[in-house]
Amino acid sequence: MQSLEASKSLQIGSLKVNSIVSVAPMAGITDCVLRQLIRNFSKDSLLTTEMLSSEALMMNREQPLLNHEPFEHPLSFQISGHKPELMAKAAQKIEHMASVIDINMGCPAPKITSNGDGASLMKNMPLASKIIESVKNAVKVPVTVKCRLGWDVPNKNYIEFSKMVEDSGADAITIHGRTKTQMYSGVADWNAIGEVKSVLKIPVIGNGDITSVEKAIECLKISQCDGIAVGRGVLGDPELIHRIEHYLHTGEILPEPGIARRLELLRLHLSKEIEYRGEIHGIRFMRKFFAWYIRDIRGVSQFRFRLVRAENLNELNAIFEEIESHVR
């Protein structure tokens, strides 16, 4: 792994990011509220929007996903699609907001790949190359690509694909250490990410299974990659990126948050979502997060069942107080 001194920044084209840790884009998860919560703890990491459909962008249907505040920067906007000209126009449309334009070539969701978007582009390298070249020629901000190891295990083409990404002009590449068909099962292959790092000149960012400081250290050690992108690890733990950065700067591993701290963060996250969306919609949006914040406590299922059915803040606060009493 790089020395601590060398591990403090990442050069992505013309952009210097004063952290090698970034947030991986997650649909329905990395909204402006979660990004701002993470930014409260991590001042320098590269944050990322949810995936933005290029076609929807051109029809002005993605406006809520574009919402952000200046202090979120550096902020990467991720776009998806399979039409080079349309992708270029979509990138131009949001360029003024973005520190980076990221192209999604790794989403494994069937509703995405069935349209020829996301990870399906790993099966069509000539088209993927045209998309990268078109976007790169259309904007002045750095352009990055996120992909996987390939479509499935018999068709892993991550080395060839990554070389194409670099040759097509991308300024960096993020690789999730699984194939499309693996989805999120099994174990991310950090050695494969290391193989890519050994053959590319542009920065290589590793992604997959980075759920703790220790996992981040291991990923960096095994892959020797230039940076890491944390996805599911921030769910219920928005301070994780800060703790990773703290280790990279000091060599000290801070303790993971206990249930009391997680409940405090949950209340904060919920209050911000309610402030942003209103009480009804904020609570409904947060239901997916409840289980992550209260994981690993005794009798979690009874509380989870009630939390996802609560209709107002008073009900939720009463349940939170029961949980706090339960774990004392």
Domain shared by 121 and 182, yes or no: yes
Query: What residues are labeled active site?
Result: 107
Dihedrals φ, ψ of 305, to 5°? Answer: -60, -45
pLDDT in tens, the chain (328 residues): 444 444 689 999 999 999 999 999 999 999 999 999 999 999 999 999 999 999 999 999 888 899 999 999 999 999 999 999 999 999 999 999 999 999 999 999 999 999 999 999 999 999 999 999 999 999 999 999 999 999 999 999 999 999 999 999 999 999 999 999 999 999 999 999 999 999 999 999 999 999 999 999 999 999 999 999 999 999 999 999 999 999 999 999 999 999 999 999 999 999 999 999 999 999 999 999 999 999 888 778 888 999 999 999 999 999 999 998 887 7
Domain shared by 45 and 150, yes or no: yes
Distances in Å between the Cα of 169 and the Cα atoms of 132, 146, 163, 178, 197 are 7, 14, 10, 24, 16
Domain shared by 151 and 280, yes or no: no
Domain shared by 240 and 263, yes or no: no
pTM for the predicted model, two decimal places: 0.94
Domain shared by 141 and 277, yes or no: no
Domain shared by 180 and 283, yes or no: no
What is the CATH number for 313?
A: 1.10.1200.80
Domain shared by 182 and 311, yes or no: no
Tell which of 226, 250, 274 closes a domain: 250
Q: Give the residue numbers spanning the domain of 115.
A: 5-250
Domain shared by 316 and 187, yes or no: no
Could you give the number of structural domains in the chain? 2
Locate tokens 């209709």: which residue?
A: 311
What contacts 255, CB < 8 A, 6 or more positions away? Answer: none
Domain shared by 228 and 282, yes or no: no
Domain shared by 111 and 146, yes or no: yes
Tell which of 195, 225, 250 closes a domain: 250
Tell which of 206, 230, 250 closes a domain: 250
* Antiparallel, parallel or unpaired: β 15-17 and 204-207: unpaired
Domain shared by 164 and 39, yes or no: yes
Domain shared by 321 and 198, yes or no: no
